[in-house]
Every structure is written in C-alpha cells, then in structure tokens.
Amino acid sequence: MQNALSALVIHDIKNALALLEIELEQLNHHEGVPVEGQRAYRRCLELKSRLMGFLTLYKHDQSGLNPMVSEVDIAEFLEDLVDASQSVQMGRSRQGHPVSVKIGPGGNANVGFFDQNLVELALESALNNAVRYAHREVRIWAERQGGVLTFKVCDDGIGVGMVDETVQRGEKSSSTGLGLALCEAVAKAHGSGSISLENVAGGGTLFCMTLHKAG
C-alpha cells in the first residue's frame, strides 16, 4: 500500500510540474517577459530534472538499473540531446549571460553501445549545471579508447571548488550533488563506469562520464 501511495503522489507531482512548465513556457513566448518569469521557468525545468533524477536514483537503490543497451550513432545522439535540452534552449547562465552550447571539437567516437535514455538523462543533468555556471560557452563531445566510451562536458565558468555567493548559500552543492549521483549510477550501470570533475586551464570545469564496454 505504501509503494502504491508513493507512486500516486509522484505521478501527481509530475503532472503538476508538466502543467506548470507548459504555462510558464507560454508566458515566456510573449514579448517583454519580466526577469522573474524567466527565472520561474528555469526553476520549473530544474525541478522537473531533479524529480526525474530522484526517481532514477530510487530505482537504482531499490533494484539497480538495468540498461537497455543498443547501438547508437554518437553524432546524432549528441545533436538530438542539445536540440532537446531545455536548459540549452533557455540559453542563459545564473548570472544572466547568454550561453552557447557546441558539440566538440575533439570527439572521435562514431558509434557506441549504451542505454540511450539513461545516458541522455545523465548528460542533460550535466548540461544543466554547465549552462548554469558557464560564462559564455559549453562544449560537449565523446571520445573512445578501445572499448571505453567517455562523454565530456566542459564549461568556462568558475571551476570546481571555487567559492561564490551561490555556493555559500548551498545551492550549487545540492543540485550538483544530485546530478553527480545520477551520472555515477548511470555510469556504473554500464559496467563499472565512472565520472570525474576537474578544473581546466583558463577557468571552467570538465565533466567526464566513462562507460566501459560501450565502444
């Protein structure tokens, strides 16, 4: 009974968020939308992404993730991911700067074998954080070394471990923590995969999600 009630509550929350998203999206199509309206829309998208992440992590904790592996065209997958990404469509960082998202350069992977839905969910979370903290640009690409496939997302923001007002308020640690946990669960579901975060020269953060036996 408890599981059934939880499922009903989650279903109700998902429907409410979907309706709110539609209403805010329509509002943002009008000219002269106030900044508060744009922020509310971004917050709605973030909450929706976090809810999906929570559900995926819950499933991982309860019974583990069972990826439905199939052959995927990497270039087409990344193009579809960027085109459909709601954070990319908003195209602005927390500071209000316009952010462009580009595929590559540097990718050398043409085909991979992985669960497209799970990897898409993880990379959308990584993109969301990258766009949020980027200054002007985010890049995403994939590299292969033998049977190991690595997706990389790089932004030109403040970098890992840098302290600013949002970090002091705890906003970054909560959203980024969920996103990293989700990405780690997806990576491990693909054969002892892993994730990493590191600073890049000149400022910014490089996120890597490695999938073993995906090449």
Radius of gyration over every alpha carbon of the chain, rounded to an integer in angstroms: 17
CATH 3.40.50.11690 assigned to domain 2-212? The reply is no
Question: Over its length of 215 residues, how does the chain's per-residue pLDDT go in tens digits?
Answer: 456 666 666 667 777 887 888 888 888 888 888 888 877 887 787 777 777 777 776 776 666 778 889 999 999 999 999 988 867 776 666 666 788 889 987 778 899 999 998 999 899 889 988 888 898 999 999 999 888 999 999 999 888 765 344 433 444 434 466 778 889 989 998 888 999 999 998 889 999 999 987 66
CA 205 to chain centroid: 14
Closest CA to 40 of 55, 23, 62, 54: 23
Which residues, in sequence order, are bridge partners of residue 111? 73
**Side-by-side strand order, sheet with 148-155:** 100-103, 137-145, 148-155, 205-212, 194-199
